[in-house]
Structure 1
Amino acid sequence: MGLLTTKAYWTDAPDLPGLKIRRDDNRNRSEIRWGTPVDGSNQSGYDFEGLGTSGELGGDDFPLGVFTHHNYPILLGSFEKFSLTLQLQVYFQAHDLLHECRLVFDHDETPNVGAHWHDQVTLPDVHPDDAVVHVNGVEYTVTITGFLVGDGPHKTKQRTFDTPENDEFSAKIFAQFKQTGPSGS
């Protein structure tokens, strides 16, 4: 196992009302917010905070960072489902390897009427252009393996999660660099 670090920042987003993107390199954190708050207080949005952890190419999955969804009553116009892109940098110290990839999150913004007021976030796939890396003649495929959700022994990896209205939800995002063949095969 070797030390790896992650950094990320939000890049591509549709032209959402109230869109704001902030990056704090000192805290290794990036935030994106959208919508006009109904009660004048908070916008909805995402945060990503990169981690320093142990991990290895071809090994078990490891945490990339902590993802937080902020779900508040907002006015958003015609946007109900949209995608947001996080540019991610993973640095494997043992290999002096910096791999950059784009993660595209799908967001379902509920209209805050009816029985289901929870917004849903779907775990991203790695953009196809960024899903393969070659190191020392070996090919690895980058896969996002899940949001780690729950407490204590009840933790599970999930592809989606719901965040209730007027709430925030955080989960670690896990990934794996799985060996898929020799370089060039």
Structure 2
Amino acid sequence: MGLLTTKAYWTDAPDLPGLKIRRDDNRNRSEIRWGNPVDGDNQSGYDFEGHGTSGELGGDDFPLGTFTHHNYPIILGSFEKFSLTLQLQVYFQDHDLLHECRLVFNHDETPNVGDHWNDQVTLPDVHPDDATVHVNGVEYTVTITGFLVGSGAHKTKQPSFDTPEGEELSAKIFARFKQTGPRGS
């Protein structure tokens, strides 16, 4: 096992009402907010906080960082489903390798009427241009493997999660760099 560190920042978003993007390099945290608050000043949004952990190329899944979804009553207009892009940097200290990739999160913003007010976040896809990396002649495929949500014995890795209206939900995002073959094969 080797040491790896991650950091990220939100880059691409549709022209959402109230859009704000903040980056705090001291805390290794990036935030994106959207919507005009119905009550108070809370917008909906996402946070990503990178960290250091153990992991290795070709090994088991490892956490990239902590993702938080803030779901508050907002006015968003005609946006119900949209995508947001997170530029992620993963540094493998043992290999002196920095791999950058774009993660595209799909968001389903509910209209806050009827029985279902939960917003849903779907596991991000790695942008196709960023999905492979070569190290010492070996090719690896980058895959995001799940959100780890829940607490205690009830933690599960899943491809999406719902956040109830008026709440915040955090989950670790896991990835794997899977060996696919030697370079050129």
In the superposition, the TM-score normalised over structure 2's length comes to: 0.99
Per-residue CA distance 1:19-44 (angstroms, 9 max, x = gap): 00000000000000000000132000
SS of the residue 1:153 aligns to:
helix
Aligned residues: 185
1:159 CA drift (Å): 0.2
1:165 CA drift (Å): 0.2
Per-residue CA distance 1:79-114 (angstroms, 9 max, x = gap): 000000000000000000000000000000000000
Say if 2:144 is the partner of 1:144: yes
Give distance in 2, aligned partners of 1:133 and 1:156: 28
Query: What corresponds to 1:108 in structure 2?
Result: 108
Give distance in 2, aligned partners of 1:18 and 1:11: 16
Give distance in 2, aligned partners of 1:27 and 1:119: 27
Q: Which amino acid aligns with 2:59?
A: G
Regions of 4+ moved over 3 Å: none
SS of the residue 1:11 aligns to:
strand
Query: What corresponds to 1:31 in structure 2?
Result: 31
Which runs of no fewer than 5 residues in structure 1 stay unpaired? Answer: none
Query: What corresponds to 1:86 in structure 2?
Result: 86
1:154 CA drift (Å): 1.4
* Higher mean C-alpha deviation, range 147-156 or range 115-124: 147-156
Q: What is the root-mean-square deviation in Å for CA atoms of aligned residues?
A: 0.5
SS of the residue 2:12 aligns to:
coil
Give distance in 2, aligned partners of 1:151 and 1:35: 29
Q: Which amino acid aligns with 2:82?
A: F
Give distance in 2, aligned partners of 1:30 and 1:41: 19
Which runs of no fewer than 5 residues in structure 2 stay unpaired? Answer: none
Query: What corresponds to 2:165 in structure 1?
Result: 165
